């Protein structure tokens, strides 16, 4: 009896041991879930070796926010907001201000003396009076900032970026500018060229001063792109008529006493530019006559000039 019991116990022990060793290994999965990765551990049935598979979940690219862009732009400057119609002529030093009307982003920078020294814009977007609040005068605001110097009889409250080009009227877009220059000179010509080109890109204005005490600039340098052409305009803050007169580029022709029309005819104007009388005007002839390059197709001299790339501009 004892012998049979020993055999029975031995048999049960063997069955128990075989059952434990024959149990099929189940896959073991250890999932660690976070924003970075998921790790899976499996035991291969055939090789009985563990394989570890790591899947890294890609985070969506974070779009650059307006705040990030502004922080990059204002590095070294304090980014502040100023109402577009603020008439105060005071500027804070070392700041950057958005001077674009509405959603436009035109950035103005001041130096440590509060002088407006730089204005940039990736794109100049023209005024749209069908969608924007524009006064009958064609301006966004009824007046401009009173920057020190504009009280002069010969200086205007000159916009760096005009209303027609989407600029506001606070002190960060206004400098005291010679009235003739602003209304009829290179400043006016530049603004007109941008309007006729339906805007511009890569705009930059550099404003220079004779000293650190004044808010009246001595010169301006504008760089911008029109229809794929890079334009650079540099001019002093002076009356261009007086400069042209001093250089002998202007002259008066006395009218006959019996003539009621004192204006020059177009043929007379052309002869004063076309010095060799061949009916064609070169860039040099136009410059010598006091005309600023480039000339666009709406200029009266354009038909007499050679627009080789046929882009509507000569002398770019």
Of 200 and 21, the structure prediction assigns the larger pLDDT to 200
Say what the pLDDT of residue 242 is: 83
Return mean pLDDT, the chain: 79
Token pair 């090789």 is at which residue? 47
Domain ranges across the chain: 2-56, 66-244, 263-316
| pLDDT class of 221 with cuts at 50, 70, 90 | very high
Q: How confident is the model at residue 38 (pLDDT cuts 50, 70, 90)?
A: very low
* CB count in 10 Å sphere of residue 166: 24
Q: Which has the higher per-residue pLDDT, 248 or 109?
A: 109
Percent helix, strand, coil in the chain, to 5, is 25, 25, 55
d(CA 159, CA 171): 9
Reported confidence tier of residue 274, pLDDT bands at 50, 70, 90:
confident
Say whether pLDDT at 36 is over 60.
no
Q: Is the pLDDT of residue 14 over 60?
A: yes
Does this model's pTM top 0.85?
A: no
Whether the pLDDT of residue 163 is over 80: the answer is yes
The pLDDT value recorded for residue 104 is: 98
Q: What is the CATH number of domain 66-244?
A: 3.40.570
Instruction: Write out the DSSP string of 67-123.
Output: HHHHHHHTTTSEEE---TT-------TTEEEE-BSTT--EEEEE-TTS-EEEEEEEE
pLDDT tens per residue, range 224-268: 999 999 999 999 999 988 877 776 665 544 333 333 333 333 444
The closest alpha carbon to 121, from 101, 141, 92, belongs to: 101
How many angstroms separate the Cα of 173 from the Cα of each of 57, 148, 157, 158?
48, 13, 9, 8
pLDDT for 299:
82
Which residues in 215-251 are b (16+ Cβ under 10 Å) and which e? bbbeebebbbbbeeeebebebebbbbbebeeeeeeee
- Per-residue pLDDT at 6 exceeds 90: no
Q: Left (φ > 0), alpha (ψ -120 to 50) or beta: where does 122 sit?
A: alpha
């Amino acid at each position: 009896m004892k012998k049979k019991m020993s055999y029975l116990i031995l048999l049960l022990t063997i069955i128990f041991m075989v059952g434990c060793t024959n149990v099929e290994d189940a896959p073991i999965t250890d999932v660690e879930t976070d924003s970075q990765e998921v790790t899976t551990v499996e035991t291969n049935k055939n090789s009985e070796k563990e394989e570890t598979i790591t899947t890294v979940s890609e985070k969506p690219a974070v779009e650059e926010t307006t705040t990030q862009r502004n922080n990059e732009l204002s590095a070294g400057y304090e980014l502040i907001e100023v109402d577009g119609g603020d008439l105060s002529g005071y500027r804070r030093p070392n700041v950057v201000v958005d001077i674009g009307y509405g959603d436009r982003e035109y950035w103005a920078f001041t130096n440590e003396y509060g002088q407006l020294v730089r204005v940039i814009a990736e794109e100049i977007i023209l005024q749209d009076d069908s969608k924007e609040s524009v006064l009958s005068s064609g301006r966004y605001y009824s007046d401009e900032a009173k920057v020190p110097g504009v009280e002069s009889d010969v200086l205007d409250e000159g916009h760096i970026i005009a209303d027609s080009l989407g600029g506001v009227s606070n002190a960060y877009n206004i400098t005291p500018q010679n009235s003739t220059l602003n209304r009829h000179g290179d400043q006016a010509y530049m603004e007109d060229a941008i309007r006729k080109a339906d805007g511009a890109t890569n705009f930059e204005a550099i404003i220079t001063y004779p000293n650190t005490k004044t808010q009246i600039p001595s010169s301006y340098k504008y760089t911008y792109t029109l229809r794929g052409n890079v334009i650079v305009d540099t001019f002093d803050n002076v009356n261009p008529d007086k400069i042209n007169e001093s250089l002998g580029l202007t002259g008066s022709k006395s009218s006959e006493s019996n003539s009621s029309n004192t204006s020059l005819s177009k043929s007379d104007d052309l002869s004063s530019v076309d010095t060799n009388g061949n009916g064609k005007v070169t860039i040099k002839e136009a410059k010598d006559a006091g005309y600023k390059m480039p000339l666009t197709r709406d200029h009266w001299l354009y038909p007499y000039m050679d627009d080789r790339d046929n882009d509507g501009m000569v002398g770019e």
